């Protein structure tokens, strides 16, 4: 009898000691589910509230309302990144990054067109926005990802063939769209003739289409992350269901639409503020490019922190290619149809900055490995670009 009592007491002691552990696990599980539901709910109502705000109050009045609009704009960017990651997890690389790049670029084009419709003063906006996007991507976004990834993981690797392919197409399209108009034959200004504009648009679409075919079909393995670092651990996460992916895709488009509409609402106060403090009009293009690139930039930054440099580069370089390959042909077509003036050629100083940025990027990615050194170099080039604009 004492032996039985002792055994029962031991079992009771073990059960009593295990119960807090079970409670702790259950609390952790409940907290995890609550966090996931909170993030999912937040990423739904924020973009919807942004669209509602834009519909109810199409114009901005007080300073407090401007601050509220900026806050919802930032929150919509975060929601777009969340849904883009869900879609990317379902479709896999490089389709997830391609979806986000194309979606953002389509909205960028619509934002530029809406601002160009105001009058001839916006003739240089597409040029300023596209050039700013290229400089922000090649120097700002790439530099930030390399620096953060290098600080966190010392050295990062990527697939050299895919990055070289993207840079090859980017150099050709940037030269056709931004550099050649400055030296266009028979052009009195820094713009193409109607025939030259149509040819450049067709060439840009063709190059971008071939790149997408290579990226998604012909040589897809060039753009897949190498199986190193944190990738193996992340690969065990269960992908979302098809219904969840479709829902996130719809919410991604809603979030991006909210971003562009709220940015459009802030455009007029932004132009007034820039004019009042005597800043160059090129600053408007920088701000528009920064707002449009915000979702992709945040996604690329988070990927670099997780040692997914290939994903970061897919997002960054894919955005630059889509900006030229989709935005410029769309804007050029509208300009030809509506008879809008369109100035594309950049100055000799900007050509120099573009050439340095492309050469530095090619050298940074020439070995297939990166450290904080390359990131620091690119960020210095970004500071140089911003300094030349503000000191103009």
Phi and psi, residue 383, nearest 5°: -60, -35
User: Model confidence over 52-79: pLDDT tens digits?
Assistant: 877 777 666 677 777 888 888 878 877 8
Q: How far is CA 8 from CA 4, 16, 214, 284, in A?
A: 6, 12, 69, 77
The average confidence (pLDDT) of the chain is: 79
User: Model confidence over 165-185: pLDDT tens digits?
Assistant: 999 999 999 999 999 888 865
* Highest-pLDDT range among 14-28, 193-207, 367-381: 367-381
What pLDDT does residue 24 have? Answer: 45
More confident residue, 41 or 286: 286
Q: What letter does residue 225 receive in the DSSP assignment?
A: P
Confidence at 145, pLDDT banded by 50, 70, 90: very high
Mean pLDDT of 293-298: 83
* Whole-number Å distance between alpha carbons of 367 and 365: 6
CA–centroid distance for 22 within its chain: 42
User: Model confidence over 267-291: pLDDT tens digits?
Assistant: 777 777 777 777 787 888 888 888 7
CA–centroid distance for 94 within its chain: 14
Q: How far is CA 189 from CA 126, 130, 287, 358, in A?
A: 16, 19, 26, 25
More confident residue, 334 or 363: 363
User: Model confidence over 20-39: pLDDT tens digits?
Assistant: 444 444 544 444 444 455 55
Mean pLDDT of 37-50: 74
Contacts of 280 (CB under 8 A, 6+ apart): 389, 390, 392
* In contact, 270 and 284? CB cutoff 8 Å: yes
CA–centroid distance for 218 within its chain: 24
Stated as kind and residue range, the H or E segment containing 156 is strand 156-157
* In contact, 245 and 369? CB cutoff 8 Å: no
Q: Is 370 helix (H, G, I), strand (E, B) or coil?
A: strand
More confident residue, 203 or 190: 203
* In contact, 135 and 359? CB cutoff 8 Å: no
What pLDDT does residue 292 have? Answer: 78
User: Model confidence over 89-115: pLDDT tens digits?
Assistant: 777 766 766 777 777 777 777 777 777
What pLDDT does residue 167 have? Answer: 95
Give this prediction's pTM: 0.77
* Whole-number Å distance between alpha carbons of 363 and 377: 11
CA–centroid distance for 66 within its chain: 24
Tokens of residue 147, six digits: 């620096």
Nearest residue to 302 via CA among 70, 100, 104, 73:
100
Tokens of residue 58, six digits: 């199409």
What pLDDT does residue 376 have? Answer: 96
* Whole-number Å distance between alpha carbons of 18 and 12: 10
User: Model confidence over 347-369: pLDDT tens digits?
Assistant: 899 999 999 999 999 999 999 89
What pLDDT does residue 379 have? Answer: 97
Query: What whole-number percentage of the chain has pLDDT above 70?
Result: 80
Q: How many residues does the chain have?
A: 392
User: Model confidence over 211-269: pLDDT tens digits?
Assistant: 989 988 888 888 888 764 454 444 445 677 878 888 888 888 888 788 778 877 777 77
- List residues bridging with 157 in a β-sheet: 369
Phi and psi, residue 189, nearest 5°: -125, -175
Q: What letter does residue 346 receive in the DSSP assignment?
A: P
What pLDDT does residue 13 have? Answer: 43
What Rg value do the Cα atoms of the chain yield, rounded? Answer: 25
What pLDDT does residue 120 have? Answer: 58
Domains and CATH numbers, the chain: 42-390 (1.20.1420.30)
């Amino acid at each position: 009898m004492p032996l039985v009592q002792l055994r029962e007491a031991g079992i009771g002691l073990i059960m009593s000691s295990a119960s807090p552990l079970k409670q702790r696990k259950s609390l952790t599980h409940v907290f995890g589910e609550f966090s996931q539901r909170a993030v999912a709910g937040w990423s739904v109502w924020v973009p919807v509230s942004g669209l509602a705000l834009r519909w109810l109050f199409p114009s901005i009045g007080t300073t407090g309302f401007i601050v509220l609009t900026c806050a919802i704009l930032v929150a919509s960017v975060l929601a777009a990144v969340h849904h883009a990651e869900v879609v990317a997890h379902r479709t896999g690389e490089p389709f997830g990054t391609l979806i986000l790049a194309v979606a953002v670029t389509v909205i960028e084009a619509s934002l530029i067109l809406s601002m160009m419709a105001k009058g001839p003063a916006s003739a240089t906006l597409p040029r300023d926005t596209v050039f700013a996007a290229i400089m922000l991507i090649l120097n700002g976004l790439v530099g930030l990802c390399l620096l953060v990834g290098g600080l966190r993981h010392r050295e990062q690797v990527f697939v050299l063939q895919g990055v070289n392919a993207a840079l090859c197409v980017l150099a050709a399209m940037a030269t056709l769209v931004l550099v050649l108009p400055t030296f266009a034959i028979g052009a009195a200004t820094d713009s193409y003739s109607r025939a030259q504009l149509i040819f450049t648009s067709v060439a840009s679409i063709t190059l971008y289409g071939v790149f997408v075919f290579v990226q998604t079909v012909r040589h897809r393995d060039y753009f897949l992350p190498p199986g190193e670092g944190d990738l193996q651990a992340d690969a065990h996460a269960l992908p979302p269901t098809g219904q969840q992916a479709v829902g996130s895709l719809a919410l991604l488009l809603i979030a991006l639409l909210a971003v562009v509409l709220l940015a459009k609402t802030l455009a007029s106060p932004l132009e007034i503020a820039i004019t009042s403090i005597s800043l160059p009009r090129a600053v408007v293009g920088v701000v528009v490019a920064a707002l449009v690139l915000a979702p992709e930039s945040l996604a690329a930054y988070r990927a670099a922190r997780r040692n997914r440099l290939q994903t970061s580069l897919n997002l960054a370089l894919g955005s630059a290619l889509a900006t030229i390959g989709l935005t410029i042909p769309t804007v050029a077509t509208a300009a030809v149809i509506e008879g809008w003036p369109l100035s594309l050629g950049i100055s000799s100083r900007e050509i120099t900055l573009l050439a340095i940025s492309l050469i530095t990027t090619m050298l940074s990615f020439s070995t297939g490995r990166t450290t904080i050194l390359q990131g620091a170099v690119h960020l210095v080039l970004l500071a140089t670009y911003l300094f030349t604009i503000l000191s103009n």
